[in-house]
Amino acid sequence: MKDQIEAIQAEALARIEAATDTRSLEDARVAVLGKKGTLTEVSAGMRDVPKEEKAAVGALLNTARNAITAALEGKQQGLQDAADKKSLEGIDVTLPSRALHHGSLHPLTILRHQAISILRRMGFALAEGPEIEDEFHCFDALNTPADHPARNEKDTFYFDSGKLLRTHTSSVQVRTMESQVPPVRIIAPGSAYRRDEIDATHLSVFNQLEGLYVDKDVSLGDLKGTLEYFFQEMFGSETEVRFRPHFFPFTEPSFEIDVKLHVKGQDPRWIEVAGCGMVDPAVFEAINASRKNDGAYDPAKVTGFAFGMGLDRLAMIRWGIKDIRLLIENDARFLKQFA
């Protein structure tokens, strides 16, 4: 039996050495170590070996199996190395590698961070609230009458429960005044939703940033100076800003703010970017009622201003983007400009 084991080992090692690919190497392994392999069959005969020879024959079997296994592993590594070397033939490893493209923040994220940074330096704190709102916080508390077009299902996304997707982040201002006493100076960036027809300057889901300042003796001059400073910090000291009289239910007097948009190859044009005004006393009265008439927002004692701006439109001005839809299309050719 010893001679048989030695012969199997020698034959197996020779066959492994002669293998030229992984298929022939696998065939050699199965022929020797498989379920019906020659060494496996010899091992099964150990039960017939005399007791005094079992130790020697067993040791010889282990030696043969270990030698064959090591030869298989060595040959497998050799075949793999040869295949790797062949795959590299004709490749000049001294050539410089291809440049890796670096990612970047989305332009809206970049602009949002810049806007928040400017307003934080001016003393405004961040505030947030839910995107799914009720009519009180989105409309009633903001002096919006029941027949106002914004409350129509054609303009606002309503749920069967009666709740709605907020049409502005002004609802955050209401919730802040419900929970805090003056002075209040906050900004509320976030998403807003309206049933607008999507075109070059409108989206049904857009990014808004609203601000509120309530204290004693807050004036219209404070509002104008704050927003002019903000837009000139955002777009440069030469930025042209225009205030147009307007109407909003929650501010009086009210204004819309335009900034002149410069797009290469086109004539400069004014584009609306914000609405603002002095907080209407009716809003303070609604807040007082919600606060159980504690008088914290007595319109005879406090005044305030509020503003809201579309970050998407600010991005159009910041980078001269001619179509707002480019900001949501995820076109890498457009976005890589900001990398």
CB 69 within 8 A of CB 14: no
Count of beta carbons in the 10 Å neighbourhood of residue 214? 26
Helix (H, G, I), strand (E, B) or coil at 291: coil
- Residue 242 and residue 259: Cα distance in Å, rounded? 6
- Residue 215 and residue 174: Cα distance in Å, rounded? 15
* Sequence letter at residue 180: Q
φ, ψ for residue 210 (rounded to 5)? Answer: -115, 155
φ, ψ for residue 277 (rounded to 5)? Answer: 165, 175
Q: Is 252 annotated as a binding residue?
A: yes
Helix (H, G, I), strand (E, B) or coil at 93: coil
Count of beta carbons in the 10 Å neighbourhood of residue 133? 23
In the annotated binding site for Mg(2+), the residues are: 252
**Binding site per annotation, positions:** 252
